[in-house]
Amino acid sequence: MSILVVGSVAFDSVETPFGKVAEVLGGSGTYFSTAASFFTPVNLVAVVGADFPEEHLDFLRSRNVDLAGLQRAEGRTFRWQGRYGYDLNEAETLDTQLNVFSDFRPELPAAYREAEYVFLANIDPELQLEVLRQVQRPRLIACDTMNFWISGKRQALLKTLQHVDVLIINEAEARQLAEDPNLARAARRILAMGPRTLVVKRGEYGVIMFSEHSVFAAPAYPLEEVFDPTGAGDTFAGGFVGYLAANRTLDEDGIRRAIVFGSVMASFTVEDFSLNRLRTLEYRELEERFTRVKLLTEFSGLS
Amino acid sequence: MSILVVGSVAFDSVETPFGKVAEVLGGSGTYFSTAASFFTPVNLVAVVGADFPEEHLDFLRSRNVDLAGLQRAEGRTFRWQGRYGYDLNEAETLDTQLNVFSDFRPELPAAYREAEYVFLANIDPELQLEVLRQVQRPRLIACDTMNFWISGKRQALLKTLQHVDVLIINEAEARQLAEDPNLARAARRILAMGPRTLVVKRGEYGVIMFSEHSVFAAPAYPLEEVFDPTGAGDTFAGGFVGYLAANRTLDEDGIRRAIVFGSVMASFTVEDFSLNRLRTLEYRELEERFTRVKLLTEFSGLS
């Protein structure tokens, strides 16, 4: 069951206390696709510039990512430059060059319109709506967003959210969207905006999921070395949607396992710069770490 | 199986975005004793001044807290004044008056010296050592500390830690003690200082426990209303040690359940000012919330 993702493909320049890389492969669409491809084929809709090298396209193709929806535009590819301090939870953006991304209009190849699993990465909510107009009847629409759209395009975002099944955002975004500092209350308010499920990413504290009748909290896998948090959120989403699509499940336990697979995927991503760790990652390593996370959450109930 | 706790009994004045109280019952010894008393009797060693009202002593006695080790000194009781913003994770201390606590020397009544479960609340590590010199062969010594002692009395603290089985501190304290921003590495370093088990309190993110061969992460119970976080850490410790003592268990599952009971105890404490919520709390409510926490962590493993 292939997944449709609409997001960015970018060059990232990143500095952390542990090193520095310039113009490496990045972007929400790239991270998501690569992560999801461990579970199922992916159709990627995005745009790159004339400067985008064939080797990155080859990498995506090698991961079973279909590029029929990847537009090539005149000009330069989207570039992002950021820096992390020892507190690796938040990036400081040093520079954003939208380049070809500023005129991006998602156009779905005919074969993508029957997509059953859709992920709207963090892009302008008006573009997210354009994507939704082009798909037929997805089983699952998951979506990301960010502070910039929550404050700057709130009405369009609220419109998008009416069609979204699973909203995947971080904690600060959840509080900002709901305008409530208490996360449990914020979650209730966000569920009233449309999504059936809210998945809140909390970095090294893991993930907490809220739906009408249930709450699920999964810890992050504790890592002794975190090199670069870039892409953690998008690979989480890739593992999450990938697992659900591959297993054609949307039941409670399936969603919980998908969250743990997503979380485990993110834990590998941050072990190296760019998508480097995912290039060598094997599925059995995902399963092994999934089982470790399960062990670190277990305790017996009351008899 | 009764527990020995050495800590403070105090008057707290607290301001949160939700209200304000002045000179209410507080102190690490008080919170710990009250929480632990849900599981087993407690022997409290502390000091109060001449101004300490009989009604608070009656409350502690009603909770099965033995006061033979509670000293009465000339002068005023320890007073703490603090304020919390909307981010309820950290208190701003406005005023600390040690008063009678500044000359406090813990003296254990003969009957307390055979204590099998000991909790050294957050006091001067030199006083913690004096307590340890007075006890015979405890099955379990648990201990708290804070930034003030980690930087100001590091050598005495390291000496205490050599005798401690379980160190219960918050995340910033763990990082500071280990001098390492990465929690997993910090934990490994702290375990090398003496404790067999490190329990790290992470506020609304729950608790993570590290021991030589295992890691356990428990989420906090998600609350829609947090009134006053004061005492959360000490009631966590009270529930934790209380459960272990009542069940005479120190095995892995017992420690994990104790962490969840401690965490649940803390979740009730923060629902009201001072110890007010604990005054009406019933054991079946603890069990009910324990089961809810269990439900919010469950997912099936790989078959």
Mutate to test the interface with B, among A205, A260, A291, A303 (most CBs of B within 10 A): A205
CB A103 within 8 A of CB A73: yes
DSSP class of residue A219 equals P
| Closest by Cα among B222, B178, B225, B190 to B203 | B222
B contacts of A198 (beta carbons < 8 Å): none
Q: How many residues does chain B have?
A: 303
Q: What distance in Å separates the CA atoms of residue B89 and residue B153, rounded to the nearest whole number?
A: 25
Note down pLDDT in tens along chain B; length 303 residues.
Answer: 789 999 999 999 999 988 999 999 999 999 999 999 999 999 999 999 999 999 999 999 999 999 999 999 999 999 999 999 887 777 899 999 999 999 999 999 999 999 999 999 999 999 999 999 999 999 999 999 999 999 999 999 999 999 999 999 999 999 999 999 999 999 999 999 999 999 999 999 999 999 999 999 999 999 999 999 999 999 999 999 999 999 999 999 999 999 999 999 999 999 999 999 999 999 999 999 999 999 999 999 997
Whole-number Å distance between alpha carbons of B223 and A187? 11
- Output the pLDDT for position A18: 86
A258: chain B residues, CB-CB within 8 Å: none
Which residue blocks in B51-121 are alpha helix, DSSP H? 54-62
Nearest alpha carbon to residue B264 among B199, B208, B207, B216: B207
The structure tokens listed for A48 are 């790159």
Asked whether the beta carbons of residue A217 and residue B184 sit closer than 8 angstroms, the reply is no
pLDDT at B139: 97
Q: Does A277 touch chain B (CB under 8 A)?
A: no
Option in A205, A217, A287 nearest B297 (CB):
A217
Give the chain A residue whose CA is nearest to the CA of B205. Answer: A205
Residues in contact with B120: Cβ distance below 8 Å, sequence separation at least 6, in sequence order: B6, B7, B128, B131, B132, B141, B142, B143, B144, B160, B164
% chain A with pLDDT above 90: 95
CB distance A32 to A7 below 8 Å: yes
The arrangement of strands across the sheet holding B78-83 comes to: B19-26, B10-16, B78-83, B92-97
How many whole angstroms separate alpha carbon B210 and alpha carbon B200?
A: 8
What are the tens digits of pLDDT across the range A178-235?
999 999 999 999 999 999 999 999 999 999 999 999 999 999 999 999 999 999 999 9
Dihedral sign, Cα of residue A66, residue A67, residue A70, residue A75: positive
- Calculate ∠ Cα B62-B63-B64, nearest 5°: 90
Cβ B223–A291 below 8 Å, yes or no? Answer: no
Q: What distances in angstroms separate CA B167 from CA A57, A187, B162, one per listed residue?
A: 51, 34, 11
| ipTM over 0.90 threshold | yes
What are the CA-CA distances from residue B52 to residues B77, B247, B286 (Å)? 7, 34, 30
pLDDT score of B167: 98
Residue A191 sits at the chain B interface (C-beta within 8 Å):
no
Token readout for A24 is 């490496």
Q: Is the pLDDT of residue A160 over 80?
A: yes
A1 — contact with chain B (CB < 8 Å)?
A: no
Output helix, strand, coil percentages for chain B, rounded to the nearest 5.
Answer: 40, 25, 35
What is d(CA B119, CA B140) in angstroms, rounded to the nearest whole number?
8
Residue A254 in this model has a pLDDT that exceeds 80: yes
Residues B86, A181: C-beta atoms closer than 8 Å: yes
CB within 8 A of A223, min separation 6: which ones? A267, A270, A271, B182, B184
Arithmetic mean of pLDDT over chain A: 96
pLDDT over 90 (residue A89): no
Residue A230 DSSP label: T
Answer yes or no: do B219 and A208 touch at CB < 8 A.
yes
| Alpha-carbon gap, residue B122 to A85, rounded angstroms | 31
Q: Are A9 and A78 in contact (CB under 8 A)?
A: yes
CA B237 distance to own-chain centroid: 4
Which H/E stretch holds residue A31?
helix A28-36
The two tokens of residue B93 are: 């201390």
Does A189 touch chain B if contact means CB atoms closer than 8 Å? no
* A179 at interface of B, judged by CB pairs closer than 8 A: no
Long-range pairs, A179-183, Cβ under 8 A, ≥24? A181/B86, A181/B87, A182/B223, A182/B224, A182/B225, A182/B226, A183/A208, A183/B204, A183/B222
User: Which of A180, A176, A202, A189 minimizes the C-alpha distance to B17?
Assistant: A180
Q: What is the mean pLDDT of residues A61-68?
A: 97
For chain B, how far is it from start to end, CA to CA, in angstroms? Answer: 41
CA distance B261 to B288: 11
Question: What's the whole-number mean pLDDT along residues A7-21?
Answer: 95
A284 contacts A38 by C-beta, under 8 angstroms: no
The two structure tokens encoding residue A188:
């209730």
Check CB contact under 8 Å for B217 and A219: yes
How far does A270 lie from chain B, in Å, by closest CA?
14
d(CA A174, CA A186): 7
Q: B265 CB contacts (<8 Å, ≥6 apart)?
A: B35, B38, B235, B236, B238, B239, B278, B286
B168 within 8 A of B201, measured Cβ to Cβ: yes
Instruction: Please tell me if residue B185 touches chain A, with a CB cutoff of 8 Å.
Output: yes
Instruction: Quote the tokens at residue A167.
Output: 């909203």
Secondary element (H or E) of residue B24: strand B19-26
3-state helix, strand, coil in chain A (%, to 5): 40, 25, 35
How many A-B residue pairs are in contact by the CB < 8 A criterion? 101
Q: Which residues of A touch B297 (CB under 8 A)?
A: 216-218, 297, 299
Is there a contact between A300 and B184 if contact means CB atoms under 8 Å apart?
no
